[in-house]
Amino acid sequence: MKGICILGATGSIGVSTLDVVARHPDQYRVVALTANGNIEALYEQCLAHRPEYAVVANENNLEAFKAKIAGSAELADLKVLAGAEALQTVSTLDNVDAVMAAIVGAAGLLPTLAAAKAGKTVLLANKEALVMSGQIFMQAVKDSGASLLPIDSEHNAIFQCMPAGYITGQTAKQARRILLTASGGPFRSTPIADLDTVTPEQAVAHPKWDMGRKISVDSATMMNKGLELIEACLLFNMDPDDIQVVIHRQSIIHSMVDYVDGSVLAQMGNPDMRTPIAHAMAWPERFDSGVAPLDIFQVGHMDFEQPDLQRFPCLRLAYEAIKAGGIMPTVLNAANEIAVDAFLNEQVRFTDIAKIIERTMAEFKPDSADTLERVLQADSEARIVSQRMIADIVA
Ligand code: NAD
Ligand code: MG
């Protein structure tokens, strides 16, 4: 029986994880659930899954959560913690074996890194944490002997296509290239001139995947693929030039590995995050995820296209950031988080997102990112600079 802590339990990945956990009560026990704002959902999840701990990350919501559970005799033994530090407390508990890192954005870094340092099995959905702290994060995993298993569907697919016995962080020598697939998002064929006026609602309406708002906007700009490119470089120890992004709009192949003998291995399946979640939770075995079998005849055919970097400048910026190295991926990620937030709050246009990131990156040099302090400093400085870029655009 393994104990699991789910960071970001109330989000899209958190909910899918609990769905998988509920199918395997003989193998997984929920030790801790965390949420930021959605107290109602956290309460319902606590009733259904009976964790030992619940963490309300945003302390302002603690009283409301306590008031909710006060009336439930079933939750009398629930230990309730609050605040960002409590996320680290629960991600390193002795009876936690696996940590699902499903908080969105930089807020997930410290509890995910703490889990890695504590030698836990880290089920990594929170790509921003890895992108912003790449070198430190991968070193922490190596030093502690933690297992790092990718949840992002593409990286989970690549991991599944790696040679037997492969562990993340190694270079698979016979693998010459990774083909990283992308759906192309909702604006794959929208006239470029129309992108100026797209609304947040249009941007979050993804054609293939049902996800949180931030990653949905990232998919529309293709910054999601940019972050995934950086994520792939780190997880699989590959050069960015050996990773080719491929637009595959059916989202049936979740990525491929091209080997020196000409074999190209792909992992396929319906676009449902419960597959990579169940894969990582059962690894090295497999178990049921609840996902329907793929109907290959209904898929019929599959298309592949080159991405257009004019249409998707965010993808170009991600290539530039990883090639520059040092703090540049941290800066890219921070500027993107600020710009996406401003777009969702209707302060800036969709096409301003890439401009804000590019102008922010231009203010930084690729200084070393080898300590957590440097990473956190670059993250906060980049946030300040991108707010200034937004103010310039709005003015
Ligand atoms: P979401 O917005 O649906 O959920 C985010 C979760 O994080 C919620 O539980 C929320 O309460 C919590 N949270 C938000 N801000 C927080 C803060 N400041 N402190 C603590 N907790 C906070 O997001 P999602 O779509 O589930 O994505 C989660 C992560 O997984 C992201 O990093 C995303 O890139 C990655 N991911 C998601 C998908 C997907 O299909 N949804 C696929 C691949 C990777
Ligand atoms: Mg993905």
Domains 2-150 and 325-395 equal at CATH topology level: no
Average pLDDT over residues 95-110: 98
Number of the ligand 1 atom closest to the C-alpha atom of 153: 43
Number of the ligand 1 atom closest to the C-alpha atom of 35: 11
Q: Is the domain 2-150 a CATH 3.40.50.720 member?
A: yes
d(CA 210, CA 116): 28
- 272 burial type by CB count under 10 A (0-12 exposed, 13-18 middle, 19+ buried): middle
283-311: pLDDT as tens digits: 999 999 999 999 999 999 999 999 999 99
d(CA 383, CA 335): 6
With a cut of 90, say whether residue 5 has pLDDT above it: yes
What type of residue sits at position 373?
E
With a cut of 90, say whether residue 209 has pLDDT above it: no
Residue 199 — pLDDT band, cuts 50, 70, 90? very high
With a cut of 90, say whether residue 71 has pLDDT above it: no
Give the residue whose CA is nearest to atom 39 of ligand 1: 211
Average pLDDT over residues 356-367: 98
> Residue 233: what pLDDT?
98
Number of the ligand 1 atom closest to the C-alpha atom of 214: 2
d(CA 390, CA 342): 8
- Residue 125: CB within 6 Å of ligand 1? yes
With the C-alpha atoms ordered 221, 224, 228, 231, is the resulting torsion angle positive or negative? positive
Question: Which ligand has the minimum distance to the alpha carbon of residue 222?
Answer: 2
Question: Which ligand has the minimum distance to the alpha carbon of residue 215?
Answer: 1
- Residue 224: CB within 6 Å of ligand 1? no
Q: Is the domain 325-395 a CATH 3.90.79.10 member?
A: no
Q: How far is the CA of 233 from the centre of ligand 1 (A)?
A: 22
d(CA 34, CA 56): 6
- Residue 102: CB within 6 Å of ligand 1? yes
Q: Is the CB of residue 182 less than 8 Å from the CB of residue 307?
A: yes
With a cut of 90, say whether residue 347 has pLDDT above it: yes
- Side-chain half-sphere CA neighbours of 137 within 13 A: 29
250-290: pLDDT as tens digits: 999 999 999 999 999 999 999 999 999 999 999 999 999 99
Q: Is 280 helix (H, G, I), strand (E, B) or coil?
A: helix
Q: Could you give phi then psi for residue 206, rounded to 5 degrees?
A: -75, 135
Average pLDDT over residues 209-231: 95
With a cut of 90, say whether residue 156 has pLDDT above it: yes
With a cut of 90, say whether residue 222 has pLDDT above it: yes
158-179: pLDDT as tens digits: 999 999 999 999 999 999 999 9
Give the residue whose CA is nearest to atom 40 of ligand 1: 211
Query: What pTM does this model have?
Result: 0.98
Residue 206 — pLDDT band, cuts 50, 70, 90? confident
> Residue 318: what pLDDT?
98
Q: How far is the CA of 215 from the centre of ligand 1 (A)?
A: 8
Ion ligand 2 contact residues with beta carbon within 5 A: 152-154
Report DSSP state, residue 205.
Answer: -
Q: What is the largest CA-CA distance in the chain?
A: 64
Q: How far is the CA of 79 from the centre of ligand 2 (A)?
A: 33
Q: How far is the CA of 75 from the centre of ligand 2 (A)?
A: 35
With a cut of 90, say whether residue 93 has pLDDT above it: yes
For residue 267, what is the enclosing H or E element? strand 264-268
Q: How far is the CA of 153 from the centre of ligand 2 (A)?
A: 5
- Residue 212: CB within 6 Å of ligand 1? yes
> Residue 331: what pLDDT?
98
Q: How far is the CA of 277 from the centre of ligand 2 (A)?
A: 12
Give me the chain's average pLDDT, please: 97
- Residue 35: CB within 6 Å of ligand 1? yes
With a cut of 90, say whether residue 210 has pLDDT above it: no
With a cut of 90, say whether residue 51 has pLDDT above it: yes
Q: How far is the CA of 298 from the centre of ligand 1 (A)?
A: 31
Number of the ligand 1 atom closest to the C-alpha atom of 87: 20
- Residue 209: CB within 6 Å of ligand 1? yes
For tokens 């599944």, name the residue: 160
Query: Where do the domains of the chain lie?
Result: 2-150, 153-269+303-321, 325-395
